[in-house]
Chain A
Amino acid sequence: MPIDVLMPALSPTMESGTLAKWLKKEGDRIKAGDVIAEIETDKATMEVEAVDEGVLAKILIGDGTENVAVNTRIAIIAGEGEDAAAASSGAPAQAAAPAPAAVPVPAASVPAAPRSAAPSYDASGEIPAGTEMVKTTVREALRDAMAEEMRRDDSVFVMGEEVAEYQGAYKVTQGLLQEFGARRVIDTPITEHGFAGVGVGAALAGLRPVVEFMTFNFAMQAIDHIINSAAKTLYMSGGQLGCPIVFRGPNGAAARVAAQHSQDYAAWYSQIPGLKVIQPWSASDAKGLLKAAIRDPNPIVFLENEILYGQSFEVPKLDDFVLPIGKAKVVRTGRHVTLVSFGIGMTYAMKAADALAGEGIEAEVIDLRTIRPMDVATVVRSIQKTNRCVAIEEGWPQSGVTAEIGMRIMEEAFDYLDAPVARVTGKDVPMPYAANLEKLALPNVGEVVAAAKAVLYR
């Protein structure tokens, strides 16, 4: 059957072009791959190669013709044994199927994002009544979480700089090498981009890596693998290939380590569909959520904090304490104003709540615990009661997590607000080294108290 040769599009934006020159003439034998013509596109002169074999029976568009629309028939190729003359005189030959015109999709038909139907969350049942509580540092809780999951599942391993023999740059992996050996507790070279990629590759192969960054500041070297390789592969593979990996390590400002070592990445990672982002405050949440993160089939960014490592909290003595990802916790109840924070930001929120209580203001304090997915329902429920909200983070204000909290409250609880949502954040500056300037750059309890009073018009 004769085959039409169509004017090709050779760039994503080309709609028409000039048929500059035929390199074959009617009657020439053609085989696949032969260059048969040159066309000028919107970018450059390009060669047209034949895809089929046969004889160039008829040229329909001559040399030098301008504005030839893409998919116009420009020639006919007669197949082997076919009569070229007959082919050329006939009606349109068997056209390779024309490109279907793109159907414009009206905006209204964009399917709505599935809204979480999850109700507000009550964390009070997470720890069964009567459970023995043990004072534990965040550091120990994180170590225990990893050790328990490694005992449970051989596919879990820990890799990173100084995690094994040195026992962890911040001693979070203390004792793991002794218990699990060098096969599962792996010191890497200083090579964040590379070992993040190796970790993601191992996760794509079905292992469950816990990749420790000595700090998340260094993970900027590896962010391509966290986002492009880990977070997007499930979607790009049509759901075929998951990436069960945890990237963890200290994040945010420590003390006196200046701009390059003092950044909170919660807002950065929380923008990425495909990632879950956890930033715990208490040791109990650190343990329960890290265990959940290691079991989760998705890539997880688990943001710790060096200053919190040494702080002690009550941790339940349970064989297998796992918390749900994506659920906030009402840490303190109150009826006048809602304070929402996460990670070390909770320190300011809790102290501010104490200070406010001294002035007769009962603040409800919510620890988001997970930044993505964000448990807005629990925040909304609180605002329905208090009608006022202050959001607190150590990160920068622009496009920050508190900016997101404020917008989500606008979307979902505007009618309940008696005052605009306020926020207290790190100042919009690189972290300074000088002690006095560093103190000024971070949020403080006074700012939270002042913001709470402002939304209460006091």
Chain B
Amino acid sequence: MAPKAAQSASTAKVAGAAPAAKAMAAKAAANGSASSHGPKPFTREQDLLAYREMLMIRRFEEKAGQLYGMGLIGGFCHLYIGQEAVVVGMQMATQPGDQVITGYRDHGHMLACGMDAKGVMAELTGRRGGYSKGKGGSMHMFSIEKQFFGGHGIVGAQVSLGTGLAFANRYRDNGAVSLVYFGDGAANQGQVYESFNMAELWSLPAVYIIENNRYAMGTAVTRASAQTDFSKRGVSFNIPGEQVDGMDVQAVHEAGSRAIAFARAGKGPYILEMQTYRYRGHSMSDPAKYRTKDEVERMKNEHDPIEQVRGRLLGTHRVPEDEIKKIDAEVRVIVNESAEFATVDPEPDASELWTDIVR
């Protein structure tokens, strides 16, 4: 399926005439993780890495939810649980220097970029050791060192900003690619299409990753989007797109590698619709009454990204359960330490009120 998708994508690139074939190929990609047309299997090392990275996000987010429940994290807190394969698979396809930018559901992206769990958690609790000294919070964190450009609280803003990062790459001709994440909700913002137009017009090295978790806050995709195949959202700009099983880290990695290579080669932007699912509500205070429990349970039980990898580790790769438990324990230690730090680290000094306004 991989070559076929690549081919149809490039056809679309030239003529914009292959959406049907492409959509079929994409559907095969989306539905075919269990079929013989599935993505290239991960090596043992790749699966071990993916497992660890995804588990880190899962456990971190669960802990963040707990700290929120204790009143240690305030305001809004949007958890990434269920969507871990998307950012981990994409990150495994990047090279040093590639940039990442996303919206408000950003903790997973930061961890996947290699940002320190302590700094992220301490920012969630508004402490001085947080990435933004406690002045940004859950939705506003950055790391120039890790090329993570936020963390943006205005839905869709990151799409134009990420296109600007890609613009800078092209301007400097530095070979880097900008990975721009947004959701099915943000995909309806006007500036997304303004950005698509410029990105294709100027052949900018951007990969647009639409994390379709089926609900924009409480509104199902079908109630908000006239075109629910988000891989086609670039058709009128001649940007190729694919639908990807975003619960399968292998499929994400394979499509991501293809898209990033395309952008890096100077062929312009690429769209990946990641079909994923968020287990938790939109934010901590969302009871998620807009979907059935059965739907959530089915995704958890049949498509969980971490369980898929765990199954492969125990099965195909014959990794002893003890070794997996060791990873579980290591991750738990890191997460617990981050929570401990985020609890004892002092709040920012009052003088910080007046700093960092201008340089």
Contacts and interface: CB of A to CB of B under 8 A. Distances in A.
Interface stretch (A4-12, A304-312, A404-412, A449-457): A4-12
B190 interface: yes
A11 B73 CA distance: 10
A111 interface: yes
A242 B149 CA distance: 11
Contact of A196 (B131, B141, B151, B160): B160
A448 B237 CA distance: 54
A228 B154 CA distance: 8
A206 interface: yes
A229 B152 contact: yes
B343 interface: yes
B83 interface: no
Interface in A261-276: 273-274, 276
B137 to A, nearest CB: 8
Interface string B333-353: 000000110011000001101
A200 B168 CA distance: 10
A224 B164 CA distance: 15
A436 interface: no
B161 A51 contact: no
A99 B142 contact: no
A189 B71 contact: no
Nearest to B162: A201
Interface string A107-130: 001110110000000000000000
B117 to A, nearest CB: 15
A238 interface: yes
Interface in A63-86: 70-71
Contacts of B285: 10-12, 14, 41, 43, 46
Interface in A176-209: 183, 188-189, 191, 193-207
Contact of B59 (A32, A99, A109, A198): A32
B70 A98 contact: yes
A195 B199 CA distance: 10
Contacts of B289: 44
Chain A interface category by residue count? 35 or more
A415 B76 CA distance: 47
A183 B171 contact: yes
Interface size class of B (residues with CB under 8 A): 35 or more
Given A111-B353, A188-B198, A238-B136, A201 B164 contact: yes
B220 interface: no
Nearest to A32: B62
B165 interface: yes
A274 B354 CA distance: 11
Contacts of A111: 350-351, 353-354
B83 to A, nearest CB: 14
Contacts of B169: 205
B71 A194 contact: no
Interface string A235-249: 111111110000000
Contacts of B149: 201, 204-205, 241
A213 interface: no
Nearest to B180: A201
Interface string A82-100: 0000000000000011110
14 contacts: A10-B68, A48-B69, A49-B65, A188-B198, A194-B191, A201-B166, A202-B167, A204-B161, A207-B168, A229-B152, A229-B157, A236-B136, A241-B142, A274-B357
Interface of B: 58-59, 62-63, 65-66, 68-72, 74-76, 81, 99, 101, 130-136, 140-144, 149-154, 157, 159-169, 171-172, 190-191, 194-195, 197-198, 201, 279, 281, 284-285, 287, 289, 300, 339-340, 343-344, 350-351, 353-359
The 3 A-B residue pairs with the shortest CB-CB distance in the complex, in nearest-first order = A201-B164, A197-B160, A8-B69
Given A51-B63, A237-B141, 16 more contacts: A8-B66, A11-B285, A51-B65, A110-B350, A189-B194, A197-B160, A197-B195, A202-B171, A204-B165, A205-B99, A234-B357, A236-B140, A236-B151, A238-B131, A241-B149, A298-B358
